[in-house]
């Protein structure tokens, strides 16, 4: 099977959905002909579909999301790109109080079929304002769906599903995933929301991880295998809806769990998943749940300090050894 990058997979999904449905259009800062997206995800799309459907916008995140909401409730299917995930904070009223609530507030008489694509995560030394991970913020908002693809295959299949969904979708990517190259079929496929994927089968301990941390968890699992520890790695793929059954079934199988996410530890993704397991699978645990996350600190600009706060294979391996031994 052919291999393409994560960025190319997203580009293919956008191209195919724009070709399939003329109501799909893209808007955002520098997504058009000149710059083609901060991470080149929209490369070539303006040349094919024109400036009307690949729209460069002013530097105003609230305007981008506000326009997308208006377009969505009047029948279009906008895909809004926010250049860095941290900048969704500038449009939180539009996302949280408008997009997420309009369908409910109008008793189902309107839909808000829009996708907000944005990159989160640290690792490229661009400091505290552009390196955060806010996945848990959006998990807290009824009305949103939260998607966290970790591979090119999932990036394409989940984005196509998101564009066809009738609800507002927070489609969260990771900056370090864009160049990763993996197998992606040429034929059309969709990946349903709320269905986790077991990235590695194992019997001793479960690692639940998201986005770029999935790859670090897999690398740690290979290291741990040399010590005789058989790790199962589960990728939720979507945080809302969350595949609770898959997570709980894996924990029942192994009796131990480590949750790895790149957000801050307090009230983060790991906290929610840990609470779920404690409520519904406590009797199956042979050891306490351990979370591996970033400390509650701004992301440093210094590359050395930045790498110190980001979860790595060593921290993941140590957490697994602790729950096993």
H helix intervals, 226-312: 244-254, 269-281, 303-309
User: Are residues 165 and 21 located together in one domain of the fold?
Assistant: yes
User: Are residues 26 and 170 located together in one domain of the fold?
Assistant: yes
User: Are residues 75 and 220 located together in one domain of the fold?
Assistant: no
User: Are residues 231 and 168 located together in one domain of the fold?
Assistant: no
User: Are residues 55 and 123 located together in one domain of the fold?
Assistant: yes
Tell me the average pLDDT of the chain.
97
In a domain, 190, yes or no: no
CATH classification at residue 252:
3.40.50.920
User: Are residues 177 and 206 located together in one domain of the fold?
Assistant: no
> Is 0.85 topped by the overall pTM?
yes
CATH classification at residue 21:
3.40.50.970
The helix/strand/coil state of 56 is strand
User: Are residues 173 and 242 located together in one domain of the fold?
Assistant: no
Q: From first to last of its 325 residues, what are the pLDDT tens digits of the chain?
A: 899 999 999 999 999 999 999 999 999 999 998 999 999 999 999 999 999 999 999 999 999 999 999 999 999 999 999 999 999 999 999 999 999 999 999 999 999 999 999 999 999 999 999 999 999 999 999 999 999 999 999 999 999 999 999 999 999 999 999 999 999 999 999 999 999 999 999 999 999 999 999 999 999 999 999 999 999 999 999 999 999 999 999 999 999 999 999 999 999 999 999 999 999 999 999 999 999 999 999 999 999 999 999 999 999 999 999 999 9
In a domain, 85, yes or no: yes
In a domain, 292, yes or no: yes
Which pLDDT score, from 0 to 100, does residue 71 have? 98
In a domain, 27, yes or no: yes
Closest CA to 146 of 72, 239, 59: 239
pLDDT (tens digit per residue) in 248-287:
999 999 999 999 999 999 999 999 999 999 999 999 999 9
User: Are residues 234 and 295 located together in one domain of the fold?
Assistant: yes
In a domain, 43, yes or no: yes
User: Are residues 160 and 300 located together in one domain of the fold?
Assistant: no
User: Are residues 68 and 208 located together in one domain of the fold?
Assistant: no
Domain holding 217, by residue range, is 197-324
User: Are residues 26 and 124 located together in one domain of the fold?
Assistant: yes
In the beta sheet, which residues pair with residue 5? 181
The helix/strand/coil state of 261 is strand
pLDDT (tens digit per residue) in 3-19:
999 999 999 999 999 99
In a domain, 191, yes or no: no
Which pLDDT score, from 0 to 100, does residue 125 have? 95
**Residue 264: enclosing H or E segment and its boundaries?**
strand 257-264
Domain boundary (126, 157, 183) is at: 183
Q: ω before 241 within 30° of 0 (cis)?
A: yes
**Edge-to-edge strands, sheet with 54-56:** 54-56, 24-28, 77-81, 115-120, 169-174, 145-147, 238-240
Number of domains in the chain: 2
Residue spans of beta strands (DSSP E) within 123-242: 145-147, 169-174, 181-183, 197-200, 205-209, 231-235, 238-240
pLDDT (tens digit per residue) in 81-90:
999 999 999 9
In a domain, 189, yes or no: no
Domain boundary (113, 148, 183) is at: 183
In a domain, 305, yes or no: yes
Closest CA to 251 of 232, 227, 223, 229: 232
User: Are residues 206 and 245 located together in one domain of the fold?
Assistant: yes
Domain boundary (132, 159, 183) is at: 183
């Amino acid at each position: 099977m052919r291999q393409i990058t994560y960025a190319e997979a997203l580009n293919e999904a956008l191209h195919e959905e724009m070709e399939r449905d003329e109501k799909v259009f893209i808007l955002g800062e520098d997504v058009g002909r000149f710059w083609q997206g901060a991470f080149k995800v929209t490369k070539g799309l303006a040349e094919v579909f024109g400036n009307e459907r690949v729209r460069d916008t002013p530097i105003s995140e609230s305007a981008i999301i506000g326009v997308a909401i208006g377009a969505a409730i009047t029948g279009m299917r906008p895909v809004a790109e926010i250049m860095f995930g941290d900048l969704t904070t500038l449009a939180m009223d539009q996302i949280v109080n408008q997009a997420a609530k309009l369908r409910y507030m109008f008793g189902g008489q309107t839909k808000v079929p829009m996708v907000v694509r944005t990159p989160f995560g640290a690792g490229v030394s661009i400091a505290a304002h552009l390196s955060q991970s806010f996945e848990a913020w959006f998990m807290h908002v009824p009305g949103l769906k939260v998607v966290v693809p970790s591979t090119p295959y999932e990036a394409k299949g989940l984005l196509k599903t998101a564009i066809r969904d009738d609800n507002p979708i927070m489609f969260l990517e990771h900056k370090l995933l864009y160049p990763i190259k993996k197998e992606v079929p040429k034929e059309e496929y969709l990946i349903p929301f709320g269905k986790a994927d077991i990235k590695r089968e194992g019997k001793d301990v479960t690692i639940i991880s998201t986005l770029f941390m999935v790859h670090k968890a897999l690398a740690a699992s290979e290291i741990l295998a040399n010590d005789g520890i058989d790790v199962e790695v589960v990728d939720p793929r979507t945080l809302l809806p969350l595949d609770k059954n898959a997570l709980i079934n894996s924990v029942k199988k192994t009796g131990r769990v480590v949750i790895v996410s790149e957000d801050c530890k307090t009230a983060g993704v790991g906290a929610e998943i840990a609470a779920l397991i404690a409520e519904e699978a406590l009797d199956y645990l042979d050891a306490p749940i351990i979370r591996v996350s970033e400390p509650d600190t701004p992301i440093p600009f210094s590359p050395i300090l930045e790498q110190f706060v980001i979860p790595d294979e060593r921290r993941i391996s140590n957490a697994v050894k602790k729950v096993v031994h």
